[in-house]
Amino acid sequence: MDAIAPTMTEAGPAPEAFAAIDRLMARGAGFFGSRYAVMGGAMSWVSERHLVAALSNAGAFGVIACGAMEPPRLAEEIAGTQALTGKPFGVNLITMHPRLEQLVEVCLAAKVGHIVFAGGIPPGSAIRRAKDGGAKVVCFAPALALAKKLVRSGADALVIEGSEAGGHIGPVSLNVLAQEILPHIREVPIFVAGGIGRGEAILSYLEMGAAGAQLGTRFVCATECIAHPNFKRAFLRGAARDAVPTTQIDERFPVIPVRALQNAGTRRFMEHQAEMLRRFQAGEVTKEAAQLDIEHFWAGALRRAVIEGDVENGSLMAGQSVGMVAREQPMAEIIAELIGQAAAAIAARPGSDR
């Protein structure tokens, strides 16, 4: 205990440890205009006004999941969020949305300061319009080459998300992506995501060069989250091994894997995927239409679980950090716990005087 006494108090880590976290998060927090460089993952039906406002009010950075919303509906959600918080928050837009340009205009008209493009490489015109309208642009980069391309295209920040995450995922773990990308991209802040459930993990990536972290699964059981009690109970019961990715059934018909807790809905998705493949091969639908239909399947299945509480037939999208979700808590308590864990890890280092 002698070695760590200078940085520990009976109430927890001493102020020096928290100050060290502040220094490590300074770039990311400054980018968002938030107290902490902790970004909320955009989870359809979950990341709506109440959860987003709770995140921002707790010192983190909430992000609305636009998903399949039409422009008028997104405008309502932004206005509803602004009524609940005066703190900064962002909006996540799916690049394949047929009205992407109009959604960007909705964000700009509402003075949203950060637009997050997800689900593919955003068109250069959308990036330029967002930036010309005064918003900062955040993009997802699943590889180093693409990260460099996005920076050249005008991205103001990047998110690198590992396959441990919930929902749509790429093939590479965050552990590998961080080693591949963080040492080589310094021009813009980079936020890490995927499988993060504790403050110690956030600290480790900050020290590798990340500007902050994005978490989603950890926030589903916030008391402010509107998810159905059945949905939250599934998360509280779930273990890391229960959150598994779907598989594509034909390499000619690539489908982005989705990580979710296994149930009847997961099996039904495989059947639906096979049916859409059959219709595509029969010439009944185009490849693009078939893939969009699959996306709509997930949106409907997710709503059944999140809103209606049908956790057997709906989609239980969850990251592998689901096993670290132990109880329902107020958002402010969750954020304080994460920051406290990171500070405690610094304070516990032998000889630490920070």
CB-facing half-sphere around the CA of 18: CA atoms within 13 A: 14
Tell me the Cα Rg of the chain: 20
Q: What CATH number is given to the structural domain containing 48? A: 3.20.20.70
Question: In this structure, how many other beta carbons lie within 10 angstroms of the beta carbon of residue 128?
Answer: 14
Confidence (pLDDT) at 341: 98
Judgement on whether residues 170 and 291 belong to the same structural domain of the protein: no
Is residue 306 in some structural domain?
A: yes
Please state the domain count of the chain.
Answer: 2
DSSP state of 286: -
Residue 212 lies in a domain: yes
User: Range of 94's domain?
Assistant: 5-227+324-347
Tokens at 102, concatenated: 């109009």
- pLDDT at position 4 is 36
Structural domain includes residue 180: yes
On whether residue 156 sits in a domain, the answer given is yes
Residue 207 and residue 89 share a domain: yes
190 and 296 together in one domain: no
Secondary structure (DSSP) of 134-172: T-EEEEE-SSHHHHHHHHHHT-SEEEEE-TTSSEE--SS
Domain shared by 15 and 113, yes or no: yes
CA neighbours within 13 Å on the CB side: how many for 235? 31
Residue 203 shares a structural domain with residue 268: no
Q: Are residues 24 and 39 in the same domain?
A: yes
Does residue 107 share a domain with residue 253?
Answer: no
pLDDT at res. 350: 87
Residue 234: inside a domain: no
Q: Is residue 271 part of a domain?
A: yes
φ/ψ of 152, rounded to 5, equals -65, -30
Query: Is 354 domain-assigned?
Result: no
CA-based nearest residue to 344, from 144, 213, 202: 202
User: Each residue's pLDDT tens digit in the chain (354 positions)?
Assistant: 333 333 455 568 999 999 999 999 999 999 999 999 999 999 999 999 999 999 999 999 999 999 999 999 999 999 999 999 999 999 999 998 999 999 999 999 999 999 999 999 999 999 999 999 999 999 999 999 999 999 999 999 999 999 999 998 999 999 999 999 999 999 999 999 999 999 999 999 999 999 999 999 999 999 999 999 999 999 999 999 999 998 877 777 667 788 999 999 888 888 888 898 899 989 999 888 887 788 778 778 999 999 999 999 999 999 999 999 999 999 999 999 999 999 999 999 987 654
Question: Is residue 86 domain-shared with residue 134, that is, in the same domain?
Answer: yes
- Do 171 and 203 lie in one domain? The reply is yes
Are 259 and 289 members of one domain? yes
User: Is residue 353 in some structural domain?
Assistant: no
Residues 338 and 223 in one domain: yes
Q: Tell whether 151 and 280 lie within a shared domain.
A: no
CA distances from 259 to 103, 263, 294, 312, 326 (A): 27, 12, 15, 16, 20
pTM of the model: 0.92
Tokens read off for 183: 């040492």
